[in-house]
Structure 1
Amino acid sequence: METGAKHEECLKETETKLEYISLNRIFRWSQRSQCIPHVVIVSGVPGIGKTTMMQKFVNDWANGKLYQRFAFVFPFKFRELNKMAEVSLEKLILHQYPHLEEQLSNILEHPEWLLFIFDGLDESIHQMDFKSNRLCSCTKDQKHFGAIVVSLVKQRLLPGCSIMITSRPTKLVSMDVSSIQRITEIMGFLHSDRKIYFSNVFADEELSKKAFKYVQENPMLYTFCYIPSYCWIVCTVLSLCFRAEPTNNDRLMKSLPKTVTQLFAIYVSNILTNHSSKQNDFPSIRNLLTSFGWMAEFGVMNHMIVFDERHLRSFNVGNNDHHFSCFMLESGQHPHVDYTFLHLTIQEFLAALVHFIHYDSGKLQESLDKAKSFEDGRAEMFLRFLCGLSDSTTRSILKPHLYYLSIEASNNVINWLQKKIAEEQRDKKELLNSFYCLYESRNKALALQCIGSINDAVFSFVHLNPLDCSVLSFILETRGETEELNLGSCNIQDDGLKNLVPALHTIKNLRYNKK
């Protein structure tokens, strides 16, 4: 969600500072690197459309619409190459394109006609050291798969060929990108794109406007919608709510998601409603989500999004269950089949939910402490979902399918959050992260209890994006009255100020400057 808020700001910056690059210009002259790039990285958060973009690129090329200077385009997915150890470039190509065996030597004689696409660098288990000098220059040389990719990127192997790599931004942080001539980022949906998307999903124009208006008034959900896959989930959930209560406005407003946790609770509830073979089959559903949940949590804690048959067996996840495809995607061919959750956030939600289905005090405490210790933010959404599920109203969305969700787990999470906030009074950025958890919990009594002793809210020199301001507004409104709010040098933009307006009447003294 923080990424989404940064995205909103970046969109404004794009209009003035950043360079907009369309797909047909991605391998054209780069003003910044002063060259025609041979190596391009396409970055983007999960669900933003990296794989879809790659598929469109290949499709447009195959149909003669794009980059006809490439005689051959070889798309690969990193996750499908995880089982490979030492391999030559020729074997790598023939592994996926065996029909090229007779022509391959001729094809490789003209590297300038070749484009290699590697999708999902963040899903690769192979080490890729872009500073390494242990490279190969012969297409028949057997090397570690990572060395093959690095050799192509550094133009030691097939000099003159072109490379496109897609990756999540988090993976790029640890990479040496000095040999990359162009790094681009998929920015996702602009405001107008979101509006068009809603219109396309909701055939009824009036319904589309109502749904979009509701999302716009909820900064958390609106920010979420910049990612196409999230936008689809939001539209799916809102469509269910609006169609279930077309006339009763009071009941409609109660049924609409107020938080991201509620959004995913309704989404999962809908899956269970539409795909359960019989009603009130509580044991089966509980067992199913328990298996999914423990595997999901294992992935969150170990920074893992790709699973294989061993993981499925270990966590007792049956891929022949009719619910399986509702939560997971399968890729590859036997015996090299991999599995991923439909979206990282679904994985994070199920990882949190399992603690309320199968409560174990020790396990929950261990998970809370471990998640808090990660400095890379991998468990941030997991923690927010745990706090969101501590709300009884949110849990009630799933109770028709699960019969019972642990109140003890809720109490445990609340106690943990109270201690966390007490420890973070001085670290304002961490305190702000805890405010997000309070926001998801919808527990105003808890929020008041946690922040009751804070007379002054000092966030000077903490960069506050519009979403931060929404969360801060919720906290300030809940508190009722604050002696002083210090927002000096927080770099708050107009949208952020707008989100703070509902709480300003509770502030006695406000310190603010725009820069």
Structure 2
Amino acid sequence: MCTQIFKEERGIILGTAFCFVHLSIQEFIAALYAHLFLDICKKSVFNQHESTEQENKNETMIDLLKTAVDKALESETGHLDLFLRFLLGLSLQTNRPLLRGLLTQQDNNDENYKEIVQYIKEKLEDKKMSPERSINLFYCLNELNDQTLVKEIQTQLREGSLSSADLSPAQWSAVAFVLLTSEEEMEEFDLQKFKKSDECLFRLMEVVKISKRALLNDCNLTDESCSNLAKALGSDNNLIEVNMSNNNLQDSGVKQLCIGLENITCKLETLELSNCDLTEESCSALASFLSSDSSSLRYLDLSNNDLKDSGIKLLSDGLKENCKLKKLRK
């Protein structure tokens, strides 16, 4: 078994060293340690350095699980996501017998299960939670064998009724989870099939990132969506075509969008911004992006905007330097 878990590395200075073949093993052992620490010390691994006043307080399994959920949500890097999934999985009654011989006490309290499931669902209703963190919470519910939200959304997806549905943040996150875990490859994401709003796009941004084409036109979007899309373009994504025409993006939105476009991870080739209430200010931001080495854009549509001659001149100056653009509509 050890030959499958560890790999041997040799170095001149350190000599022979061993490391995990896959980090998931490390996360599993960390989760197992957290269970053992609670069992032996009656304390959470997150509270090892408590004050003297709190030392005599025995912590329970539900205390550990809730703290782990909170800590994972606080992390911007997601470094506790996999650990949390393993921790929750090991807490299930069906899995506790596997730890017999390691744990001195077997916790068979069904109320713990119900309480942590409800706790996670309450967290999912937080409108400020990032799409990445909410998706991980659905993986956590999956570990706990709770499929209630997912099954509800799967029914609505089959019926095609989501474009007029007024869903909660948790339900929109469930839509994203279902689409992300689908076996079908996402070639195209069309926001009009869901709900035409900034909030809906934000909740489904992880789905947008794995798609090649994002059809976001005529969807009542504002500069808020540009800011969120810029973050998506600046992270790992598959997008090569984005249509945001006929939205009230304004110059502030395009300036935000350019931040994401300038990121080295952005491979966008087509961008449509027709009729988006843009002026020459947008031309200045776009000209700067088009002249940069990071630009991969081949087609840009700026038609039906109030760019004026001064804006066109700014664009022309940007096109003269290091521009890969093949077609421009203005």
Bin for the TM-score computed over the shorter chain: 0.3 to 0.5
Higher relative contact order (CA 8 A, sep 6+): 1
TM-score of the aligned structures, taking structure 1 as reference length: 0.24
After TM superposition, the score normalised by the length of structure 2 is 0.35
